[in-house]
Each structure stands twice: as structure tokens, then as C-alpha cells.
Amino acid sequence: MDTKTTPKPSPAPVKVAEHMEAHDGNPWRQAMEQLDRAGRAMKLEPFALERLRHCKRILTVSVPVKMDDGRVEVFEGYRIQHNMDRGPAKGGIRYHPQVSLDEVKALSFWMTMKCAVVNLPYGGAKGGIICDPKKMSKGELERLTRRYTAEISIIIGPDKDIPAPDVNTNEQVMAWVMDTYSMTLGYSCPGVVTGKPLEIGGSLGRREATGRGVFYVTRELAARRGFDLRKAPIIVQGFGNVGSNAANIFAEHGCKVVGVSDVGGGLYDPKGLDLHDILHYRDTHDSIADYDKAEHMPIDKFLELPCDILVPAAMENAITKANAPRIQAKYIIEGANGPTSNDADHILHDKGVVVVPDILANAGGVTVSYFEWVQDMQSYFWSEKEINARLQDIIVGAFTEVYDVHLKEKVDMRTAAFMVGLRRLGKAATIRGMYP
């Protein structure tokens, strides 16, 4: 996340309609189509299915911020709790110009499904602010975060709804959230948020957790499908926290990463990239756009490069009906949330491409967030070795359960993952019943 100190003009508001038209479809409709498809396949109880078609709670807030030049800019923010039948809500906060209500609703739904697939005692939530953090100073970002936290403090809390980092938010932003919430209580409350710095209750292994989970599911897929992961060329789209950590962990295990990209463009070398050098360059230049030791590829062609494994780890709807026919990967591991549109899903399925869905593939982050929350609540912290071992057990167990349903029910991996999660959610809804 860019934290430049030179104030710049705030961006013009992004029109939601323009954002939606840029993709195959509305993300909330996409999520509901996925729900209905899986619900029909497993004959889910109508009562439970109808509950999951609606968010439990939607909060829209205005966030006035005094900018560095003295102006007051008012941003729009959201915090949405989709479902809390299995425990408190859990989900990240993103800062992006294209945040929209339907996007946050969809993300909160996918969080509900994700937590159920890996059997965490959480429901799903999500938050976001329509803004461009790359054009804001560190001071402006802090004031934005603190005011937003104050506005949503009526529904968050360690037993109610626990935020975490997402697109364009990081450990520092989570520290501001924790501090602001704690000030309203009059005492420190580290359990209100995860993804914090270690010094105030963060967990070892949290930063790498989502990328590590991507590696674990890819390794398990290779074992099940019978191919050597170290000989399978890998391309990673997105070089933020998830993508860069996933690429680095693949490389550490002897895998050949041939392509990586960020918003500035893609890098490609069929012989394999030097991830250590690229990470060092990114950390000293904020982007890999001008890295000169690999071939540069335009963003619109990057996903279509030859590879065996493709990891979309940027934003949703990266793979659409427009580019899906030209995807050359045999396996897609979804590091981002909702990176494949429903139309693209059908095209990839017809091509024989195996897609490991986001609600399984990127669940490592929320799993270690759960570990962090448990450690905060107990004031007892674990070693990184123990955290990684527990993470591996949960992710491998969830992958095995989903893959077995995929084989037994003869459905694609996404439908299988939904079926696993929906069984748990359906039972919880039925057992709890309806009040009053």
C-alpha cells in the first residue's frame, strides 16, 4: 500500500454501474448463481437456501476525512455481515476505487462459504471504502481508517464481527482499527481485528498464510492428479500479499514460477524467474513494472501465457468469457476472491481445466486469522512452526473432503466445495431454527 506524504487531489467518485459493466456480471448475482447451482445439486433444505440468499446485516456509512490540503472529503463505506449461524462474522476490509455494495455483499457471502468449507466457527462478513489509497497520504489513510472504524464500531467486536486486511489494507491499517476500537472501550481489545502487527497481538505466520494455503492445495492437487509439481510451469497474477507470498513459497519448494504480474504489467521467463530478486526489486521500487531481467508482457495477455498452473491472485472477474477460451493452463488455483466469472467457469470446465475455487484455495488467510483470534482471546501465543502445522492440517483436510465429494458426486471442484460448506451451514440453520 502506497503511503506517500505528498497530498494529491482525491479521485472522482467511481460509478458503480460502470464498474459492473466492465465485468461478465454483477458479483452478487454471480455468487447467488453459484449458491443455487450447488443447492440444487445437493437438494439443500429450502429454508437454509433462502436464508443464504440474504445478508443478515448491511451497514452503509459516510466517512468524512480532513485531507492534507484542508478540504473535507466524504467517502462511502460498507460493513456487511452475511451470516452468523456458526459463530461471529469474519472478513476483510478493502480500500479501492471500485468497491461497491454488491461487491461487498458477494465477498461477505464467499467468506461465509469459506469459513464453512474449512470448518471454522465463523460466519462471513466484509467491509470496504470507495477510495483510491494510492493517491492518499499516510495521514489521510489513518484519518480515513479511524473514522470508518468509529462508524462501524456499533456492529464489530471480538464476539460479533472481526475484520482483517484485504485489498490495499495491511498490518498498519489493522493497528489503527484496533486502537480506535480500544479507545471507545477504554482498554485494549486485540481480539477485535486480525492481521495486526506482532507487537499488539498479531500472529506469526499470518502474513504468508493465504499464499501458503495456495501452495498446500496445489501440492495436494498434484498428488491426486499424479503430476510432478516441480516440473509444472506456474504463473501468478497479482503480486500483492497473496500472490507474492504464493510465488515465493512455490519457488522455495523447487517449483518453476515462469510468470508474475502486478498492476504495472507482467514478467515472463519460460526458464523460471528469480523470485528472490524480483521481491527485493518490488520492495525497493513499489512495483515490478520496470524490472529488467525478464520479458515484459501486457496485462491483457498475461493470463493467456503457456503454463500448467495459473494462480489468479488479484481482483475478482480476472478470468471472463472473453479470455477463458485462450487460457492455456491445465489447473487454476484461485488465490483471489471471485477471480473467475460464471461464464468463464463453464468454458473452462468444457475445456477440461480443473479449477480449485477461492473458498478452498485461499482459505489459509482466514484460518490463521482464526488462530490469531484464539491466541488473542487466550493471551497465549504459539510458535510459527505450530501455526504452520495446524494450517497444513486444516487446509489438507478440507481439500481431501472437497476432492472426495468432487469424485463421488461427479461435480466440479467449485460445486463440491459449496456442497461441503452448505451441509454445515444447512445443519446450523436447521438446528438453530428461527426466532421468534
168, 151, 157: which is closest to 193 by C-alpha? Answer: 157
Give the span between the Cα atoms of 194 and 367, in whole angstroms.
11
Give the span between the Cα atoms of 51 and 112, in whole angstroms.
12
The four Cα atoms 375, 380, 381, 387 give a dihedral, to 10 degrees, of: -60
Q: Which sign, positive or negative, has the C-alpha torsion 156, 157, 159, 164?
A: positive
126 in catalytic set: yes
Assigned C-alpha cell, 261: 504480474
Give the span between the Cα atoms of 307 and 217, in whole angstroms.
18
Assigned C-alpha cell, 56: 443478515
- The residues facing 125 across adjacent strands are 81
- The label of the residue with cell 530478486 reads 277
Q: 3-state SS of 41-52?
A: HHCCCHHHHHHH
User: Which position among 90, 105, 114, 126 bears the catalytic label?
Assistant: 126
Amino acid identity of 175?
A: A
Catalytic residues: 126
